[in-house]
């Protein structure tokens, strides 16, 4: 048996390793960047905002808060595929005052919270807060763009880091769906 020259042996060894490793590298490439499906909010205003979120999942209604979002930045509020068509937002402008609110009343509080249920907020020691509705049209991911009506809207709103539908929120809120069980 004759020995291969060192350079030829190295190249052969590299090819064997490359062929063996190719499926693993492809698998890692796909798992390192899973399909993004999140609920995101972009703060297109000049001030910091605090955001509370309401949604209905398999266990019922939940409200969560507070995400503190700096001016001109985006934040993921929920990770993973969306579980509902309608989500509800309440936001306050910490720096200049004002709020984004609506007629969908849910429970909240001033400090960080996760609250199950939307009934009897005051009797349970919570605030009763009006959220505005976001209709995701049953998309897997969604981005809400908060803007300040006192400011001129930016020429190009912030773009989320993940692909997916995006539309400005309705500043004039809509009422929640009739079958939501809240009155």
Pairing, β 38-43 against β 142-146? parallel
Q: What is the pLDDT of residues 129-178, one digit of tens each?
A: 999 999 999 888 899 999 976 554 444 444 444 433 333 343 333 333 33
Residue pair 77/131 in contact (Cβ under 8 Å)? The answer is no
Beta bridge partners of residue 89, listed in sequence order: 53, 132
Token digits of residue 42: 């972009």
Residue pair 84/56 in contact (Cβ under 8 Å)? The answer is yes
Q: How far apart are CA 48 and CA 95, in angstroms?
A: 6
Q: How far apart are CA 57 and CA 180, in angstroms?
A: 12
Cα 29 → chain centroid:
24
Q: With a cut of 60, say whether residue 14 has pLDDT above it.
A: no
All structural domains of the chain with their residue ranges:
1-33, 38-180
Mean pLDDT across the chain: 74
DSSP letter string, 114-176: EEE--SSTTTTT-EEEEEEEEE-TT-S-EEEEE--TTSPPPSSPPPPSS-S-EEPPPSSPPPP
Q: What are phi and psi of 74, to 5 degrees?
A: -120, 155
Q: With a cut of 60, say whether residue 79 has pLDDT above it.
A: yes
pLDDT at 58: 87
Q: How far apart are CA 95 and CA 93, in angstroms?
A: 6
pLDDT at 140: 86
Q: What percent of the chain has pLDDT over 70?
A: 61
């Amino acid at each position: 048996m004759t020995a291969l020259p060192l350079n030829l042996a190295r190249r052969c060894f590299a090819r064997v390793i490359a062929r063996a490793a190719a499926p693993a590298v492809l698998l890692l490439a796909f798992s390192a960047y899973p399909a993004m499906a999140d609920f995101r909010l972009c703060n297109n205003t000049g001030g910091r905002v605090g955001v509370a979120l309401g949604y209905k999942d398999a266990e019922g209604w939940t409200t969560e808060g507070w995400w503190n979002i700096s001016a001109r930045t985006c934040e993921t509020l929920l990770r993973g595929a969306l579980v509902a068509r309608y989500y509800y937002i309440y936001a306050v402008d910490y720096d200049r005052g004002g709020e984004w609110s609506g007629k969908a009343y849910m429970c909240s509080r001033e400090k960080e919270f996760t609250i199950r249920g939307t009934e009897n907020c005051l009797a349970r020691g919570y605030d009763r807060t009006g959220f505005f509705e976001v209709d995701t049209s049953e998309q897997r991911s969604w981005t809400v763009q908060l803007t300040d009506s006192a400011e001129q809207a930016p020429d190009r709103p912030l773009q989320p880091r993940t692909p997916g539908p995006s539309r400005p929120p309705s500043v004039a809120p809509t009422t929640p769906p009739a079958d939501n069980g809240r009155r």
